[in-house]
Amino acid sequence: MTSIAPMTPLEPAEQESFDASLRRRAKAVIPGGLWGHMNAARLPEGYPQYFVRARGCRLWDVEDNEYIDFMCSYGPMILGYGDEDVERAAASQRAQADIANGPAPCVVELAELVVTTVPHADWVIFAKNGTDATTACVTLARAGTGRRKVLVARGSYHGAVPWCTPSLAGVTAEDRAHLLHFEYNDIASLEAAADEAGDDLAAILVAAFRHDVRRDQELATPEFARAARALCDRKGAALIVDDVRAGFRLHLGGSWETLGVRPDLAAWSKAIANGRALAAVTGNDRFRQAAQEIFITGSFWCAAVPMAAAIATLHKLHATDAVGHMARMGERLRAGIEAQARRHGIGVRQTGPVQMPMILFDDDPDLEKGNLFAAAALRHGVYLHPWHNMFLSLAHGEAEIDQALEATDHAFAAVAQQYG
C-alpha cells in the first residue's frame, strides 16, 4: 500500500494564505463569500475553498495541496477530471460552434443515444441543470394530466427554486400549495398522501434513493418502487424518478432499472456530460404531447459543446463497464473502512450504494466525530465529506482506493484518540 505523506500546513495566520485572501475578497463582493452547497464555510476548518486544477480523481487547491477526490464536483465527474475522450469531443465541437441561433446537429445524435440507452425513454429534451429537469418533469406531469398535486418524500432534495428548495427564505405558501408529503420507502404513507390528493394527483416525484444529508442513506426497496408504479397506474398519475444525483452510476438505463420499475418521466443532470453543464428530461409517449405544449427554454440550453461532451461520455460509459468498475471500487473502499473501524473500535455506518458512499459515526448527533474524521483525512491528502453522500468515478482505481484507505486509517486513529 502506497502511503501519502501529510501535507505541509498552511502558512501562519499573519502570512495570509492565498485561499484565505480569496475568501476575504469574495466576502466583499459575493454574499456570504459563496452561494450554495460548495461554500467551504459549511465544512470543517481546513477545507479549501478554491482549486486550480484537476485530473483523473485528483484535485489541487490554490496552495498546491493535492487530494484524492471523493466528491467528483458533487457528482458531475463520472469518468474523471479532464477525460481525454470527452475533452477531445468538446474541443472539436467548440472549434465549429457552441451557441448559435439553433442547436448543432449533435443534439439529434445525443437524443438518439439517450433514447437507446434509457429503456423507458421514447423522447428526451435537454436543459442546463438538475433543477431545470425536475421542474420540467413536474410541469410536464401537470400538463399531461390536467391535475395539480405532486407527492414528494419528506426531506428529499429536488432542486433550488421556490417549489422545492430546502430554504424557506423568500418562499411563499403558495409556491408549495400543491405539494403533499410521504415518507421514503413507506408504502402506507405514500398511499395516504395519494388519498389526500384525491382526483387531483398529477405525479409522484421520488429520488433514485434516499440521499438526504446528515442521515443514513436508504436504497429504494423493490416493494416501494412497485407500489409507487402501481399507484400511478391506478390513479392515472405520472411516476417521476429524480435521477439527477444518481443517474448513470447505478445503471445506465436509470437507477430504478435495478428494481424492475420504469418511470413515466425522469430528470437527469450531473454526470451526463462529465462536468459540462447539461441536463435532460426523458419521458414516454404518454407525455410526448405535453412536452410539445409546455414552454421551457433558455439561451444556453442548446449549447453544442456540452452535448458533444455528453455523447463522448455516454459512449465511454457503455464501452468501459463504468458502473461495474465504480461498484467494485466502492466495495473495496467500504470493506477497507469497515475493517479499519473494527480495528480502531469505532462504530460507523456505511449506507447507500457503494458507488455513492456515505459514512456516518455512531453516537455522533452533532457530527463532531465525522468532522474530525474528514478533516484528518484531508490533512493526509483525501477529500471526503462528513455529512453528504460522496461519489466514485471511473478514474478511481485500486491504487487510489488503497491510498485513500491509508489516509482514513490515520483519520480513524485521530477519532479514537479523542473519543476513545
Q: Is 283 exposed, middle or buried (0-12, 13-18, 19+ CB in 10 A)?
A: buried
How large is the greatest C-alpha to C-alpha distance in the chain, in angstroms?
Answer: 67
Q: Does some domain include residue 397?
A: no
Range of the domain at 90: 84-320
Q: Is the residue at 358 inside a domain?
A: no
**Domain membership flag for residue 47:** no
What separation in angstroms does the CA of 28 have from each of 3, 25, 73? 40, 6, 25
Find the CATH number of the domain harbouring 157: 3.40.640.10
**How many structural domains comprise the chain?**
1
Element of type H or E holding 242:
strand 238-242
Residue-level pLDDT at 15:
83
375 within some domain: no
Over residues 104-127, the pLDDT tens digits come to: 999 999 999 999 999 999 999 999
> Domain for residue 235, yes or no?
yes
Cβ-contact 237, 231 below 8 angstroms: yes
Q: For 52-81, what is each residue's pLDDT tens digit?
A: 999 999 999 999 999 999 999 999 999 999
In a domain? residue 111: yes
Nearest to 384 by CA among 59, 153, 115, 26: 59
pLDDT at 12: 44
Q: What's residue 14's pLDDT?
A: 61
pTM: 0.95
99 lies in a domain?
yes
Residue ranges of the chain with pLDDT lower than 70?
A: 1-14
Give the pLDDT of residue 8. Answer: 45
